[in-house]
Structure 1
Amino acid sequence: MSSEVAISVGNLSKVYRIYNKPEHRLVQMATLGRIRPFKEFAALHDVSLEVKRGETIGIIGRNGCGKSTLLQIICGTLQPTQGSVKVRGRIAALLELGAGFSGEFTGRENVYMNGAILGFSREEMDARFDQIAQFAGIGEFIERPVKTYSSGMYVRLAFAVATAVEPDILIVDEALAVGDEAFQRKCYARIEAIKERGGTILFVSHGAQTIVQLCDRAILLDAGEKLLEGEPKAVVNQYQRLISASLEDQKRYRQEIKSGLAIGATTSPKGETTASFWQKDESRQEEDKTSSHNYDSFDENLRSESIVEYTINGAQIKNIRILDESGNAVNSISFGRPYRYQYDVEFLESAENAGFGMAIRDTSGLHLFGQSSGEIGKGKKFNKGEKLIVTFPFLNLLSPGLYYCNAGVGKYEDGEVMYAHRIVDGFVFRVHQFGADLLCSSTINLKAGPVSVDQHAEI
């Protein structure tokens, strides 16, 4: 990756004036600005970032957080109120649907017009046209006016043009969300090809997994501010935590994220900060030393650095762990052996319907496997103060590497499914012997009640 900066954004702000009535604009002009009959809305506030040549940067955030405004300013289609933007290289952009094409022109005419805007001659576009048409795959519609296209056809052609001209910088603003699954796979393959040849990509998506898989870094925007920039999985975790929070918790979470307190730590209900939910059992550590299973062990230095805890909403998860056949606590495990993934749950409020779940992800954040105790809404009733141990037995057939475990308690309340508590990346373990996949055993046992669900897992 080059150290040369492709995009530099410094202290960028964009403020819109909102008038209640059209004539208020005339009042402002007539009074030379002495009367200001408008409200100001800050779409962006003091945003700074740098994108190096060859990097793929993901921008994630809630609707209205300023993502599209930022991309439009970088592309030059919108002027900032304050701040500076420097771009080095040719940009091709897929912004909001409808931008860049003329509805009255045919697809063919729009291809050549976009090529001319990007500085390509007629001859250069002739050489690229067949490739563009083949990638878009819209058949005879390429000879019809764009205004007759469906949204999917429009994006197919727009993406084909933007990537066929071999841009130095590709900017994509959630445009691929309207494409079908097969076309999305083609698009991601094309994006990977652009990355491999050293192209710079700025990518906006609400798809957390897409950000984790495609991007070198990620940026979290909220209410026009840059809250966080860093490793994609850590940023995505904080985004998911933010959007799942109640309104009263969101302000506190925003401050924690901006100050860096939310990274690699979680806050308990009493305000105590801890780096892990694991409670080491000294007696089991002594047993491990004399165990005949030399490969299984507990490494106290192996702790998750990306824990995110959701708001406690009626239940609390504690003490996430993996146990071997003898009940010893382990986080370095062998291929082909059976284990139990467990966590403790205490209900702080009564719940008529509750369910329990888990998930395993790799270091990139890719979701490998998940299992639950059954459909939430048809679960068991749990009383306030009730405590239980949730157990997911599994046979480990994972390949060597580090893996992260999620734990969740869900409930069905007022017609809505919600988390009573959830912990993301709450436990990390290492597989130290060659393997391939993960198979889960057929039952989930709750020691506090007779819940048992036959469930076979296939990956």
Structure 2
Amino acid sequence: MNGTLEVLGLGKAFKRYPSHRARLLEWIVPFGKPRHQEVWVLRDIGFTLHPGEALGIIGINGAGKSTLLKLITGTAVPTMGHVAMHGRVAAMLELGMGFHPDFTGRQNVFMAGQLIGLTVDELTRAMPEIEAFAEIGEYIDQPVRVYSSGMQMRLAFSVATAKRPDILIVDEALSVGDAYFQHKSFERIRAFREQGTTLLIVSHDKSAIQSVCDRAILLDGGRISKEGKPEEIMDYYNAMIAERESSTVRQETHESGKVQTISGTGEATVRDIALLNAAGERAEVHDVGTDVTLRITVAIHAPLPNLTLGYRIKDRLGQNVFGTNTFHMGVPVEDLVPGAELVFDFRFPLNVGLGHYSVATSLHSNDTHLTDNYEWRDLALVFTVLNMSRKYFEGVAWLEPRITLQRTGA
């Protein structure tokens, strides 16, 4: 079926030679003993994507993400395993791949377009739309060598998506674009998905992965470390970065089925957390726009010269709604001793839209948890917002407008 992608037991190894002489000797005497060492950058990678599904691939630099995409698209040959793709594929692996710097943008459209399987007639008909979407103006008839990286990305994306592909593969190329074009590009990607395009995307952009993808894969050391829902994988990935050396990341499954990620060295922990209504009572359901208090109780287990408490409110897709911490709010917390207990109250109007939300908490020493991560806890609290007293509205935020009307003329 068009749009199906199967990756079975994929692996890639490179030969590492101790010297040029060893490489030459192995070439001259091919049946002698091997003079190289095999270095595996990918091993035992397998997954299946059905038409219309979207998979995000994340991992630290060097985890093998770009190599995996090259193997899938056929620009590199696997050492083991194979890939089966059904339907027309459009891929954006490297910025401006297929462009010749001395040719104009228009000429490159026809060359790059034919490389992805479009005919000259199809490209001629699509050219006005490609120009309009890329929005590079008169530069379309200038040599590509004078383009900025953002202009190359605009044109490359416009060509790759001039005709809806059955499978769209996108590397980090979109990250070089400005905010406007990134938004525009992801709108087109979402539209393709609704029409049945299968999507494979590599990105460090948490919002992009969680808003576009059905599931995600975490690559670590050339292998699939975890696979699951985007929010679960991104939470684990962020905790893993902070805890790369101490390896204190763990995940627990709630009764609701949600997976909570917890990490940290334990010098300080959240003992209790609650969202209080205007009457000061714990509640799981709140009205839009009402005043609430996020009360977080912290227990101290070791001497700490300073402490920062942060929280982050996320929507049901795991996208950040709001976050801050005591460091950025200018509230120093210093000279703490074991056994101490601190109660923090954050008061604010709950000006968010209807839906389910979660709160993540972090305890660390400075402005971020990447320095000293005492505790990071996702899904520390879950609550629901309903519209019980406001006029009807749509969206993710309650921004009550004041309307004035002026009439002129008859």
TM-score scaled to structure 1, two decimals? 0.79
What is the 5 A alignment of 1:414-433? 417-433=371-387
Structure 2 residue aligned with 1:245, among 236, 243, 260?
243
Partner of 1:176: 174
Structure 2 residue aligned with 1:340, among 271, 293, 300?
293
Q: Distance in 1 between matches of 2:295 and 2:259?
A: 19
CA shift for structure 1 position 333: 2.9
Partner of 2:393: none
Partner of 1:314: 267
SS state at 2:190 partner: helix
SS state at 1:25 partner: helix
Are residues 170 and 409 of structure 1, via their aligned partners in 2, closer, same or farther at CA, if it must alter by over 3 Å?
Answer: same
Q: Distance in 1 between matches of 2:286 and 2:329?
A: 31
Are residues 99 and 18 of structure 1, via their aligned partners in 2, closer, same or farther at CA, if it must alter by over 3 Å?
Answer: farther
Task: Report how many residues are paired.
Answer: 391
Partner of 2:304: 351
Cα contact 2:210–2:319 (8 A) shared by 1:
yes
Cα contact 2:206–2:234 (8 A) shared by 1:
yes
CA shift for structure 1 position 217: 1.5
Q: Distance in 1 between matches of 2:3 and 2:397?
A: 41
Cα contact 2:90–2:167 (8 A) shared by 1:
yes
Structure 2 residue aligned with 1:365, among 318, 328, 340?
318
Q: Deviations over 1:13-68 (max 9, x none)?
A: 11111223333211222332533333322111101000111112111111111111
1:121 aligns with 2:119: yes
| Higher mean displacement: 329-338 or 14-23 | 329-338
CA shift for structure 1 position 203: 0.7
Partner of 1:40: 38
SS state at 2:246 partner: helix
1:140 aligns with 2:138: yes
Q: Distance in 1 between matches of 2:330 and 2:355?
A: 36
1:103 aligns with 2:101: yes
Q: Deviations over 1:202-247 (max 9, x none)?
A: 1110111110011111111111111222211111111111111141
Q: After TM superposition, where is structure 1 displaced by more than 4 Å over at least 4 residues in a row?
A: none
Cα RMSD for the two superposed structures: 2.5
Structure 1 residue aligned with 2:216, among 215, 218, 221?
218
CA shift for structure 1 position 135: 1.4
Q: Which runs of 5+ in 2 are unaligned?
A: 391-395, 400-410
Are residues 18 and 68 of structure 1, via their aligned partners in 2, closer, same or farther at CA, if it must alter by over 3 Å?
Answer: same
Q: Distance in 2 between matches of 1:338 and 1:128?
A: 53
Higher relative contact order (CA 8 A, sep 6+): 2
- What fraction of aligned residue pairs are identical, expressed as a percent? 35
Partner of 1:453: none
Q: Distance in 2 between matches of 1:263 and 1:110?
A: 51
Partner of 1:305: 258
Are residues 113 and 184 of structure 1, via their aligned partners in 2, closer, same or farther at CA, if it must alter by over 3 Å?
Answer: same
| One-letter code aligned to 1:139 | G
Q: Distance in 1 between matches of 2:174 and 2:265?
A: 35
CA shift for structure 1 position 138: 1.9
Q: Distance in 2 between matches of 1:371 and 1:304?
A: 27
Q: Distance in 1 between matches of 2:129 and 2:289?
A: 48
Cα contact 1:396–1:437 (8 A) shared by 2:
no
Are residues 372 and 304 of structure 1, via their aligned partners in 2, closer, same or farther at CA, if it must alter by over 3 Å?
Answer: farther
Cα contact 2:166–2:198 (8 A) shared by 1:
yes
